Structure 1
Amino acid sequence: MPDEIKLPEFPLAPPSSLFARLRQAVAADWLAYTQHPFVQQLGEGTLPEAAFRHYLVQDYRFLVHFARAWALALVKADTLEDMRHAADTISALLHDEMKLHVRYCARWGLSEAELEDAPEARANLAYTRYVLERGFSGDVLDLQVALAPCIVGYAEIGRALHAQFAETLPQNPYRDWIETYAGEAYQQVARNAILQLDRLAARRLTEARFPELVETFRQATRLEVAFWDMGLTQSF
């Protein structure tokens, strides 16, 4: 059953979309993720720099496994359209996003060598391996549902922070991070992910299967919460 909490509508996801249904079904966990203290401190500009740098390092390690998950999505795809979508995403991750991440980290005093050599935090290991496990043991819909909290959640977080803290954003040291995820380019990435879920659902979703997808989405969302916890406490 969906959580009793009624979430506000998310403009990118029509209420009938699979993503909107999953989001509402795990409402309490979704709020814990999207309104986490790490997120709120980002918006306020009060997050300790050491916590942000720790998060950036782990996020780089996360992106490596994120690319692997999309490679698995290509293998699991059953249409040429889905294969192309996965291939385009892999290319963007490896050739664009990771390079941008390295350049952004350099502004925070983090070298590419430090990113490469850093050990993975337990929260990172738990999250990335869970996503890969859902892909290996399930089908492409299971995998995309496990990926969705990250892809679309960051768009919702960026959008909300940009609106909530618009007046103080020019002075916020994390302005670039917020504007990246609030920006139209990333919002379109999230739209595409929502549409892709619906395309897969049209072929693979049954109401009997829906509760299993909810549990996958819930677990991935809780692992996102743990990722924020890791950043805030700077733990390994």
Structure 2
Amino acid sequence: MPSPFERLKAENAVEWRSYCEHRFVRQLADGTLPEASFRHYLSQDYLFLIQFARAWGLAVYKSRDLSEIRQGLESLKAIVDVEIGLHVGYCAAWGIPETELAGLAESRATLAYTRYVLDAGMSGDLLDLHVALAPCIIGYGEIAVWIRSQPSTRVAGNPYADWIEMYAGDGYQALVRSELDWLNARLSQVDDARMQRLSTVFRDATRLEADFWQMGLDLS
């Protein structure tokens, strides 16, 4: 029997595949993605991380017990104390200085997805927030594993190999499993009507994440 999260994916299979197998992802895998597209994506991803940190701050507020508060706090600290610094360093390696990142305006795609996540959390509960975040947290892990499995993927000489390895690596995959465990435990307790509402949140968040890839291709 499929897990509750697999049910969410199955109910939104077209959107999930369009996101996970987007042209941006395919070009990333075979190394043909224009460098300008990747730099634009990286720059916007910096702004995304800032809003992601706000989302985990909201998760702390929406938590109902100490274990959930701790989970949200650890995720918030990981982004603010570690991930943003690593991302700044990675951007610098691609010729994007921190001063440039600090002065960037959010693209429409960045605004759309991040504010959707925050609105889902504000208007709903902690589960709504996690479901809205799932295309990012779980999706990136699945995408990296999918890339590795494709015969067209180029490893040697691929300028994006480090990005692929980061999300396919043991550390990130452990985070994905932890998030899946959390989601499946809570999704298994909801009734069909609630599951359908969450499926809508998941569908819309997945569409907006696909738009984030498209933003990189369009340089918009």
Conserved? CA contact 2:29–2:153, under 8 Å: no
Query: What is the distance in 1 between the residues matched to 2:200 and 2:153?
Result: 38
Aligned pairs, number? 220
Give the corresponding residue for 2:49.
Answer: 63
Question: 1:200: Cα distance to partner?
Answer: 2.9
Report the CA distance shift for 1:165/1:58 in structure 2 as closer, same or farther (over 3 A). Answer: farther
Written as runs of structure 1 = structure 2, the 5 A alignment for 1:142-181 is 142-164=128-150, 168-181=154-167
- Amino acid in structure 2 at the alignment position of 1:57: S
Stretches of structure 2 that go unaligned for 5 or more consecutive residues are: none
1:86 is matched with 72
The structure, 1 or 2, with the larger RCO (C-alpha pairs under 8 Å, 6+ apart) is 2
**TM-score normalised according to structure 1 size:** 0.90
Change in 2 beyond 3 A, CA 1:95/1:21: same
Q: Please, which of 114, 126, 147 is the counterpart of residue 100 of structure 2?
A: 114
State the secondary structure of the residue aligned to 1:75.
Answer: helix
Partner Cα distance (2:121, 2:24) in 1: 28
Amino acid paired to 1:181: Y
Q: Is the 8 A contact 2:4 2:188 kept in 1?
A: no
3-state SS of 1:170 partner: coil
Given residue 89 of structure 2, which amino acid in structure 1 is its aligned partner? R
C-alpha contact (below 8 Å) 2:187/2:195 kept by paired residues: no
Identity level (%)? 50
Query: Could you give the per-residue CA deviations for residues 81-119 of structure 1, whole angstroms, max 9, x where no partner exists?
Result: 111111111111111111110111111000111111110
Q: Are the aligned partners of 1:18 and 1:201 in contact in 2 as well (CA < 8 Å)? A: yes
TM-score (norm 2): 0.96
Mapped partners of 2:89, 2:107: distance in 1: 22
Q: Determine the structure 1 residue equivalent to 2:115.
A: 129
Q: CA deviation at 1:167?
A: 6.8
> CA deviation digits over 1:114-139, x for unaligned, max 9?
11111000010010000000000000
Which of 185, 193, 213 does residue 198 from structure 2 map onto?
Answer: 213
What value does the CA root-mean-square deviation take over the aligned residues? 1.3
- Tell me, which stretches of 5 or more residues in structure 1 are unaligned? 1-14
Deviation at 1:19, TM superposition (A): 1.7
For residues 40 and 151 of structure 2, what CA distance do their matches in structure 1 show?
A: 23
CA change 1:20–1:138 in 2 (3 A) is same
Of 22, 29, 35, 1:43 maps to: 29
Aligned residue number for residue 5 of structure 1: none
